[in-house]
């Protein structure tokens, strides 16, 4: 049995993204075979692991089928499991999951609503949040104050914030009453820095009065998904996400307990990927 990095195993078991698990290891909250783990440790499915003093059940270490849900987050909820101020968390609103836990792919602050993706696959969450994959985040923003073309130009070319240069990859006006003090804009960016959308506008002397995330990568907020409700992606949609961040696609659910049929489907998926690559090369 091949050993793997400890953070990879625990991410797969749903304990958080790799970075979150690295922080747990640094805090001395992870044990391997009875000793406190350190960064760089490796383990396997037979290892005795515990997190925050709780033994990790063997079933959680087995690779679980990837699940992804879309959640229409309302205002007034935090995206952390525990809040020092006692505010309500999104995690009390989500469907229960067996042998794992929901990991949010990015966060939305207290007063931001809209699309939030959650998964039980820590590696998928880690890659979808990582800047190297450059997944777009799209927002509808209502701002209070005058927005000139000079301001829009600066937002497109770059604004110096406390943590570095930031900009929108796209910013454009949405239809609104020209005489109204509040105006709506559509913005797109490829980063997930803390309150980045709000800080970019505030750096121009404009206040954000409402912020809604409407898209993450290729996934848009479904029109019929009401606030506070969730919608699960099917296995084909999940595989599309896995493929987008260079993770292996998973077997169709009804074939997962039929090894021969699963292997045939795997070969078909590989052949389809090869044909797609060859077709793309011929078109160049």
**For the structural domain made of 136-216, what CATH number should be given?**
3.30.2350.10
For residues 125, 130, 132 and 136, what is the CA-based torsion angle, rounded to 10 degrees? Answer: 80
Q: Do domains 4-61 and 68-131+220-235 have the same CATH topology?
A: no
Is residue 57 within 8 Å of 15, Cβ to Cβ?
Answer: no
> Residues for the chain: how many in total?
284
- Which superfamily is assigned to 4-61 in CATH? RNA-binding S4 domain (3.10.290.10)
**Catalytically annotated residue among 3, 109, 163, 254:** 109
Buried b (16+ CB within 10 A) or exposed e, 138-151: bbbbbbebebeeeb
What per-residue confidence (pLDDT) applies to 15?
85
- Would you tell me how many other CB atoms lie within 10 Å of the CB of residue 107? 16
**CATH number belonging to domain 68-131+220-235:** 3.30.2350.10
pLDDT of residue 57: 86
- Domain assignments of the chain as residue spans, ordered by start: 4-61, 68-131+220-235, 136-216, 236-283
pLDDT at 182: 86
Half-sphere exposure in the Cβ direction for 186 (13 Å, CA): 10
- How is residue 174 written in tokens? 């949405």
109 is catalytic: yes
Residue 178, classified by CB atoms within 10 Å of its CB into exposed (0-12), middle (13-18) or buried (19+), is exposed
**β-pairing, 164-166 with 159-161?**
antiparallel
Starting at the edge strand that comes first in sequence, how are the strands of the sheet with 49-51 ordered? 35-36, 30-32, 49-51, 54-55
Kindly report, residue by residue over 240-251, the tens digit of the pLDDT: 999 999 999 998
pLDDT value at residue 220: 97
- With residues binned 3-state (H G I as helix, E B as strand, rest as coil), the percentages for the chain, rounded to 5, are 30, 25, 45
Q: Where are the beta strands (DSSP E) in 52-190?
A: 54-55, 68-73, 103-105, 112-119, 137-144, 159-161, 164-166, 170-173, 182-189
What is the number of H-type helices and E-type strands within the chain?
8, 17
Dihedral sign for Cα atoms in the order 141, 147, 149, 155: negative
pLDDT confidence of residue 179: 63
Write the pLDDT tens digit of every residue in 187-211: 999 988 889 999 999 999 999 999 9
Residue spans of the chain under pLDDT 50: none
pLDDT at 277: 61
- Alpha helical stretches, state H, the chain: 6-12, 18-26, 58-61, 122-129, 149-157, 196-202, 235-244, 259-283
């Amino acid at each position: 049995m091949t050993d793997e990095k400890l953070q990879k195993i625990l991410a797969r078991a749903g304990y958080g993204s790799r970075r979150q698990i690295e922080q747990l290891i640094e805090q001395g909250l992870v044990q391997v075979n009875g000793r406190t783990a350190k960064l760089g440790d490796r383990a396997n499915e037979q290892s005795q692991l515990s997190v925050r003093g709780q033994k990790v059940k063997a079933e959680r270490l087995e690779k679980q089928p990837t699940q992804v849900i879309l959640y229409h987050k309302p205002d007034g909820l935090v995206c952390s499991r525990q809040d020092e101020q006692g505010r309500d968390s999104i995690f009390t609103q989500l469907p229960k999951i067996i042998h794992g836990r929901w990991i949010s792919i990015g966060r939305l602050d207290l007063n931001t609503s809209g699309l939030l993706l959650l998964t039980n696959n820590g590696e998928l969450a880690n890659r979808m949040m990582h800047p190297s994959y450059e997944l777009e985040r799209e927002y509808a923003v209502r701002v209070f104050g005058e927005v000139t073309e000079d301001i829009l130009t600066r937002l497109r070319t770059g604004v110096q914030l406390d943590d570095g240069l930031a900009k929108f990859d796209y910013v454009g006006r949405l239809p609104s009453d020209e005489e109204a003090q509040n105006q709506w804009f559509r913005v797109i960016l490829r980063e997930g820095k803390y309150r980045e959308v709000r800080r970019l506008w505030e750096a121009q002397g404009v206040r954000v009065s409402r912020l809604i995330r409407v898209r993450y990568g290729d996934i848009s907020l479904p029109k019929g998904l009401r606030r506070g409700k969730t919608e699960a992606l099917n296995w084909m949609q999940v595989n599309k996400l896995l493929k987008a961040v260079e993770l292996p696609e998973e077997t169709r659910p009804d074939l997962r307990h039929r090894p021969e049929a699963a292997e045939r489907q795997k070969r078909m998926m590989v052949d389809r990927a090869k044909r797609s690559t060859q077709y793309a090369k011929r078109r160049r």
